[in-house]
């Protein structure tokens, strides 16, 4: 090996193939390292943003005081804890009375996010109260004045400017008052039958919170099994205990964050595929440049085993150099990417650690690139070892079989390590499977089309010399271009989806508990102010208790919260605007019919035609299921599990609920409306909307940065592909120049040929991009739609890019003396 390694290394360093291969390996290591590290940091940072709205990573809640064992277990697991008690009560001054939501907190609240008050205060003292702006306005108080909460007297010490802990539901009722948890007893507001929410907030590392969640679920399953042999009363006693994480606590963020996670993984997959494509093309070029040298060594008596070990040593040398350079670039790129994100997105909490990068993403990138390199190069080495000595005196054309064998083995290694790097087997198999299938199908289509063009003897037939190799070049170029396009079109689709989720005029006020006799006057007030809103839905509280006259099983009741609590029931001729009928008859028709949300129907085993029995204060009633609906729970509009046909129950027995939008300029007018309808609950969700929009903006900027980063990597791969394409014409230019062809004629002919290949690659890239983006959209639950803009841009862009690069390279090649080019061809 030693006496072969040195001459092979010297010869390889004189050629361009080894440098292109090392550049491809370096790019693969640096790009995958930086992306994987930044992806992990981004996921953690966005999770923290979502956790701010919950004020913690985990929240354990119940309608009765929590057992102290849960707090002890959290502290033993290394989690920080905070206890919160939430309830509704009457706030009053000497002249004003207002129903408020009281949030009683301890000194550790919040664990995530912050509370900003005016005047500035770092701690809430016993006997003091912080009021939201609406509470201040309704009570007509200022900091320093006194208010009563039920029987307790408090000093208003500050006005809440921002509370990142925002949720809908009972806990999100507006106006809000924050007091010390030690002052709850003096209010005397917590009585038997009071609606109270006891919470244990927890925060820690992702590993700590995941461990706590797993242990909690195990204990709950064990308790559920034990309760099967105990009285039903005890089973119901435990029914309100619920553990939520940041995603479950803020359903409006679950889908965008899930889409971001998928997008990050997709960026990793596309990066690996782009780098793998560069490695494949560089390996093939390296094989071409070394065939004659291997033939000479074989003529001189070198054994295959000696040559194999020499080349393995050479590959190891290249890999070590690439790892060193790739590591430095990867760390620098990862640091630069995170710093860029911090500049553009100051709300993100990102921590850079060289040690965490060296111990995490970097080994994975090393291992991935090593196996991918061997996957592409070992078949090429086998081809080299089988190079016959006759190669010295007679040129042999590359076999399509050998090229396909090399690509298939390399692509298999790519698929395996896409799954390793992304840790998403399903997405990796879908994307890589779609890419491989499309490559095969489109290669055959392009090859058949080129063969037909060559046989037809048209004017463009002169540009098609070897259909199978031209088809391979077109497919390779198209694949590289399409992978860039996929990320661009998916970014656009994501932005459209998120913008549709929060369009202009999204309702920012909820009204709940509006008495039926106040409903006409309330609608008139909204019309006078010009405030647009959803319909007002009659609402009564009820429980689902039976299906087809049979009660639900204890196991199903224990596993489904909808069966353990009262639900908001409504009746209407019109469905909410974002509801879509997925099965059954859209028209509810006469009384006694019900439309059911599709997911709850699937969970409870409800089918069309089933008879459901509900319990309401006036008694039980039964309705027949006529359709199933999909519901956008992330929207800021009223939505229901069950919608009944009109006149199914007495709508005057309950109240009305709805939502409407108030421009910021009209916010002061809302105070008089709240005072006019004093028995109605108004929920201000503008703060929640602001938090969701802020996180949405963070996601948009992250997606944009990643799309640009991967596009730059893909552009470098495209240029490498085109350079390799031009290298293959080096010998042809030299031969034509030696036969007397003019430089101008050569430039024109070759530019047209390369431009024609670019045009075909652009068209094929459009097909690639549409199909791959359709698969990715399906996995991300996005609407599958055509993208006409890429059909207009990609073919023209690729034609111009190929023609310009071809023109530049041809100018360089045509200036080299023909004899010099021929001598350098195999060096």
Tens-digit pLDDT profile for residues 115-135 = 889 988 878 999 999 998 888
Q: Tokens 């299921």 identify what position?
A: 625
Tens-digit pLDDT profile for residues 182-211 = 999 999 988 776 778 899 999 988 888 989
Calculate mean pLDDT across residues 46-60.
Answer: 77
Rounded CA gap, 232 and 558, in Å? 11
Tens-digit pLDDT profile for residues 135-188 = 898 898 999 999 999 999 999 999 998 886 766 454 455 688 999 999 999 999
- Among 306, 322, 321, 357, residue whose Cα is nearest residue 336: 357
- Among 499, 423, 416, residue whose Cα is nearest residue 693: 499
Q: Are 165 and 156 in contact (CB under 8 A)?
A: no
Residue 290 token pair: 């070394």
Rounded CA gap, 286 and 315, in Å? 11
Calculate mean pLDDT across residues 587-600.
Answer: 88
Q: Is residue 413's pLDDT more than 60?
A: yes
Q: Is residue 685's pLDDT more than 70?
A: yes
pTM of the prediction? 0.60
> Given pLDDT bands bounded at 50, 70 and 90, which one contains residue 411?
low
Rounded CA gap, 651 and 653, in Å? 5
Residue 562 token pair: 């909808």
The larger pLDDT score, comparing residue 511 to residue 707, is at 511
Look at residue 344 in the predicted model and tell me its pLDDT: 58
Beta carbons within 10 angstroms of residue 704's beta carbon: 13
Each domain of the chain, given as residue ranges in start order, spans 2-48+253-501+693-824, 64-204, 509-684
7-11, 220-224, 398-402, 625-629 — which one is most confidently predicted on average? 625-629
Tell me the torsion sign for CA atoms 88, 90, 92, 95.
Answer: positive
- Among 710, 668, 676, 795, residue whose Cα is nearest residue 491: 710
Rounded CA gap, 426 and 316, in Å? 33
Look at residue 586 in the predicted model and tell me its pLDDT: 83
Q: How many CA atoms lie within 13 A of 115 on its CB side?
A: 28
> Given pLDDT bands bounded at 50, 70 and 90, which one contains residue 392?
very low
Counted residue by residue, the chain has a size of 827
In degrees and rounded to multiples of 5, residue 204 shows phi and psi of 180, -165
Q: Is residue 360's pLDDT more than 50?
A: yes
Calculate mean pLDDT across residues 661-674.
Answer: 85
Residue 605 token pair: 């085993």
Q: Is residue 568's pLDDT more than 70?
A: yes
Look at residue 239 in the predicted model and tell me its pLDDT: 47
Cα dist from 131 to 116, 136, 249, whole Å: 11, 6, 24
489-503, 515-529, 694-708 — which one is most confidently predicted on average? 515-529
In degrees and rounded to multiples of 5, residue 739 shows phi and psi of -90, 5
Look at residue 155 in the predicted model and tell me its pLDDT: 94
The larger pLDDT score, comparing residue 1 to residue 247, is at 247
Q: Are 721 and 24 in contact (CB under 8 A)?
A: no
Q: Are 515 and 635 in contact (CB under 8 A)?
A: no
Q: Are 148 and 187 in contact (CB under 8 A)?
A: no
Q: How many CA atoms lie within 13 A of 97 on its CB side?
A: 7
Q: Which of 23-27, 113-117, 152-156, 281-285 has the lowest mean pLDDT?
A: 281-285
Q: Is residue 692's pLDDT more than 80?
A: no
Q: Please report, in angstroms and rounded to a whole number, the separation of the first and last CA atoms in the chain.
A: 21
Convert 464-525 into a string of H (helix), E (strand) and C (coil): CCCHHHHHHHHHHHHHHHHHHHHHHHHHHHHHHHHHHHCCCCCCCEEEEEECHHHHHHHHHH
Please give the share of the chain, as a percent, with pLDDT higher than 70. 68
Residue 564 token pair: 């353990």
Look at residue 471 in the predicted model and tell me its pLDDT: 78
């Amino acid at each position: 090996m030693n006496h072969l390694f040195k001459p092979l290394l010297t010869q390889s360093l004189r050629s361009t193939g080894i440098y292109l291969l090392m550049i491809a390996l370096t790019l693969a290591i640096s790009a995958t390292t930086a992306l994987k590290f930044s992806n992990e940091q981004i996921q953690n940072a966005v999770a923290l943003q979502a956790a701010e709205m919950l004020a913690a990573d985990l929240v354990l809640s119940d309608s009765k005081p929590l057992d102290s064992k849960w707090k002890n277990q959290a502290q033993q697991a290394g989690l920080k804890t905070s206890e919160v008690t939430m309830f509704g009560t009457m706030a009053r001054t000497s002249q004003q009375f207002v129903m408020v939501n009281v949030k009683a907190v301890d000194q550790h609240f919040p664990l995530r996010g912050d509370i900003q008050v005016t005047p500035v205060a770092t701690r809430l003292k016993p006997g003091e109260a912080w009021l939201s702006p609406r509470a201040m306005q309704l009570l007509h108080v200022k900091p320093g004045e006194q208010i009563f909460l039920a029987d307790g007297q408090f000093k208003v010490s500050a006005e809440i400017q921002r509370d990142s802990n925002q949720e809908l539901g009972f806990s999100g009722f507006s106006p809000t008052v924050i007091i010390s948890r030690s002052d709850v007893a003096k209010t005397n507001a917590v009585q038997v039958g009071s609606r109270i929410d006891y919470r244990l907030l927890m925060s820690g590392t992702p590993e700590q919170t995941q461990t706590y969640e797993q242990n909690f679920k195990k204990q709950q399953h064990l308790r559920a099994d034990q309760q099967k042999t105990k009285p039903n009363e005890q089973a119901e006693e435990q029914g309100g205990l619920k553990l939520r994480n940041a995603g479950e606590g803020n359903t409006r963020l679950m889908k965008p964050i899930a889409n971001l996670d998928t997008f990050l993984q997709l960026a990793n997959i596309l990066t690996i595929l782009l780098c793998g494509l560069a490695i494949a093309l560089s390996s093939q070029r390296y094989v071409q440049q070394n065939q004659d040298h291997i033939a000479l060594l074989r003529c001189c008596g070198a054994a295959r085993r000696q040559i194999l070990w020499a080349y393995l040593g050479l590959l190891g040398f290249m890999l070590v150099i690439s790892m060193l350079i790739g590591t430095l670039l990867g760390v620098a790129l990862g640091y630069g990417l995170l710093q860029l994100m911090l500049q553009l997105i100051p709300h993100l909490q990102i921590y850079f650690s060289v040690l965490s990068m060296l111990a995490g993403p970097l080994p994975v990138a090393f291992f991935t690139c090593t196996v991918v390199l061997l996957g592409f190069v070992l078949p090429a080495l086998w081809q080299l070892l089988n190079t016959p000595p006759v190669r010295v005196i007679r040129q042999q054309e590359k076999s399509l079989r050998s090229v396909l064998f090399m690509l298939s083995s390399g692509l298999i290694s790519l698929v395996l390590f896409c799954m390793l790097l992304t840790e998403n087997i399903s997405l990796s198999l879908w994307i890589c499977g779609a890419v491989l299938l499309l490559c095969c199908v489109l290669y055959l289509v392009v090859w058949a089309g080129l063969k037909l063009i060559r046989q037809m003897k048209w004017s463009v037939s002169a540009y098609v010399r070897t259909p199978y190799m031209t088809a391979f070049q077109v497919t390779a170029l198209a694949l590289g271009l399409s992978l860039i396009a996929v990320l661009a079109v998916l970014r656009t689709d994501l932005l459209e989806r998120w913008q549709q989720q929060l369009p202009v005029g999204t309702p920012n006020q909820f009204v709940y508990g509006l008495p039926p006799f106040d409903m006409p006057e309330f609608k008139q007030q909204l019309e006078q102010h010009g405030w647009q809103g959803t319909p007002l839905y009659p609402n009564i509280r009820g429980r689902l208790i039976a299906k087809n006259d049979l009660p639900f099983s204890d196991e199903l009741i224990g596993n489904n919260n909808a069966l353990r609590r009262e639900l908001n029931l409504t009746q209407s001729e019109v469905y909410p605007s974002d509801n879509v009928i997925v099965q059954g008859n859209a028209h509810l028709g006469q009384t006694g019919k019900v439309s059911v949300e599709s997911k709850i129907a699937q969970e409870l085993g409800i089918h069309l035609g089933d008879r459901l029995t509900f319990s309401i204060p006036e008694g039980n009633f039964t309705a027949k299921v006529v359709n199933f609906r999909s519901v956008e729970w992330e929207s800021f509009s009223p939505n229901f599990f069950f919608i009944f046909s009109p006149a199914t129950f007495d709508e005057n027995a309950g109240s009305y609920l709805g939502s409407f939008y108030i421009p910021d300029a009209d916010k002061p007018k809302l105070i008089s409306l709240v005072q006019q309808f004093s028995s109605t609950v108004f929920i201000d969700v503008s703060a929640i909307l602001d938090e969701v929009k802020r996180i949405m903006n963070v996601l948009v900027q992250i997606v944009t940065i990643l799309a640009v980063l991967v596009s730059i990597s893909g552009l470098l791969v495209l240029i490498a592909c085109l350079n390799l394409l031009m290298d293959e014409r080096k010998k042809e230019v030299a031969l034509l120049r030696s036969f007397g062809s003019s430089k101008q004629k050569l430039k024109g002919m070759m530019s047209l040929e390369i431009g024609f290949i670019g045009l075909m690659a652009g068209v094929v890239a459009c097909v690639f991009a549409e199909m791959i983006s359709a698969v990715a959209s399906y996995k991300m639950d996005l609407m599958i739609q055509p993208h006409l803009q890429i059909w207009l841009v990609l073919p023209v862009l690729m034609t111009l890019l190929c023609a310009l690069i071809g023109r530049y390279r041809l100018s360089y090649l045509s200036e080299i003396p023909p004899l010099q080019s021929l001598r350098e061809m195999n060096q």
